[in-house]
Amino acid sequence: MQQNKKSLLNCSHTDPNKILPIQYAWARTHYKNGVANNWTPEEVPMQQDVEQWKKPGFITDDERRMIMWNLGFFSTAESLTANNIVLAVYKHITNPECRQYLLRQAFEEAIHTDMFIYCCDSLGLDPDEVYTMYQTVESIKAKDEFVVDMTKSILDPNFAITDTESIQKLLNDLVGYYVIMEGIFFYAGFAMMLHLLRNQKMVGIGEQFQYTLRDESTHLAFGADLIGTIIAENPEAWTDSFKATITEKIKKAVDLEHAYAQDCLPRGILGLNAELIRQYLEYTADRRLQRIGLNTVYNTNNPFPWMSEIMDLRKEKNFFETRVTEYQTAGQLDWD
Ligand code: MN
Ligand code: FE
């Protein structure tokens, strides 16, 4: 660790209450991008979804299964993510502009939690079913346990950043939540739910997933910049064996999400199936690997180029009413 130089993890040289002058401009940029996408679930009408959900045969059993599995996964994954920010990351990341972003992100996770309350209430779903799926559905449980395990060591009250090993533990946590949970697991779920929206089914939930996707793309851009900065300032922690461990975990995450997709879509719906999701996962995992300076593994083409278009749309524009000429590329969000 660089003990004598001002750096992100060297709290003794950083006053957490002195945000100006800003040292890490990227953290401030992500904060402003988050604010620019401000939204609340109640802005989105659910009447059409309620009608479709209740109309016999309109939403097929296979579509219902996919919707329920994703509501079950996301409803609890949002609070797992929020808990990690507030209880683990915030304590150890003392840089004030990063903390400002973490507070914004925590607020956005509260909005996402609210979104699932709103969806359950609107559709009249049984909360005891939805909110226990992370324990009762094996493919969801396996994903959550994998991420929670990656973050256990920094939740230990005695954990402190004192040496190279502790920096690796922190990086392991950040990869677990920002890259794997938000950057890989969430994206397959987004693709499934937004595929329904493209078929004019469950459009209110779909619109809320669009807003959430834009929030999450900023979360993981921040996470990747945080990881990249920690590595740049502490290169001794980014050893070949640690890099190999991280790559293996990302590959394992792709397999877990693929198993989940097979469970969500045992027969496929509306031209979407688990193998297309697998391709998207491989494409996405490669992008995440590259973003944190690791080699790609799969070199698979993107089967869903429409996903990147959604991220680039202005908040005010409805996806279906927007022409290609109105797309706006947010320079900082180099994710698709
Ligand atoms: Mn979220
Ligand atoms: Fe998030």
User: Can you give the pLDDT at residue 97?
Assistant: 95
d(CA 229, CA 227): 6
- 335 occurs within a structural domain: no
Question: Distance (Å, rounded) from C-alpha 76 to C-alpha 288?
Answer: 23
> Residue holding tokens 């987004």?
190
In this prediction, residues 129-148 reach a mean pLDDT of 96
Percent of the chain exceeding pLDDT 90 equals 85
DSSP 176: I
Ligand 2 center from residue 58 Cα (angstroms): 32
pLDDT at 14 over 90: no
- The answer to whether 288 and 310 are in contact (CB under 8 A) is no
pLDDT in tens, 227-254: 999 999 999 999 999 999 999 999 999 9
Query: Collapsing DSSP states into helix, strand and coil, what is residue 40?
Result: coil
Give yes or no for residue 39 having a pLDDT over 50: yes
For the record, the structure tokens of 218 come out as 């900023």
Report d(CA 112, CA 109) in Å as an integer.
5
- Under the banding of pLDDT at 50, 70 and 90, the label for residue 314 is low
- Tens-digit pLDDT profile for residues 153-169: 999 999 999 999 999 99
Residues surrounding ion ligand 2 at CB below 5 Å: 182, 216, 219
Any domain includes 48 = yes
Residue 262 domain-assigned? yes
Cα of 13 from ligand 1 centre, angstroms: 32
**How far is ligand 1, taken at its centre, from the CA of residue 56, in Å?**
32
pLDDT at 13 over 80: no
The average pLDDT across 283-292 equals 97
The answer on pLDDT for 11 being more than 90 is: no
In a domain, residue 2? The reply is no
Confidence bin at 218 (pLDDT 50/70/90): very high
pLDDT band at 315 (very low <50, low <70, confident <90, very high): low
- 15 within domain boundaries: no
Active site residues: 118
Q: How far is the CA of 245 from the centre of ligand 2 (A)?
A: 24
DSSP state of 16: T
Domain count, the chain: 1
298 is a domain residue:
yes
Instruction: Flag whether 244 is in a domain.
Output: yes
Q: In the predicted model, is pLDDT for residue 334 greater than 50?
A: no
Closest-approaching ligand to the CA atom of 110: 1
Residues 211 and 189: their CA atoms lie apart, in Å, by 14
Is the per-residue pLDDT at 194 higher than 70? yes
CA of 112, nearest ligand number: 1
**CATH code of the domain covering residue 309:** 1.10.620.20
Query: Quick check: helix, strand or coil at residue 269?
Result: strand
Sequence-distant (≥ 6) Cβ neighbours of residue 107 within 8 angstroms: none
What is the mean predicted confidence (pLDDT) over 15-35? 93
pLDDT for 310 equals 78
Find the angle CA(206)-CA(306)-CA(321) to the nearest 5 degrees: 60
Distance CA 210, CA 216 (A): 10
How far apart are the C-alpha atoms of 314 and 138, rounded to whole Å? 37
Q: In 108-143, which positions are buried (b, 16+ CB within 10 angstroms) versus exposed (e)?
A: bbebbbebbebbbebbebeeeebbebbeebebbeeb
- The pLDDT of residue 60 is above 80: yes
Residue 188 lies in domain: 25-326
Cα–ligand 1 centroid distance for 6 (angstroms): 31
Residue 5: what pLDDT?
57
Closest by Cα among 237, 239, 259, 257 to 249: 257
More confident residue, 59 or 320: 59
Identify which ligand lies nearest to the alpha carbon of 189: 1
Residue 7 lies in a domain: no
Tell me 181's DSSP state: I
Round to whole Å and give the CA distance between 291 and 229: 12
Query: For position 201, what pLDDT does the model report?
Result: 97
pLDDT at 163: 95
Question: Residue 212 has what pLDDT?
Answer: 96
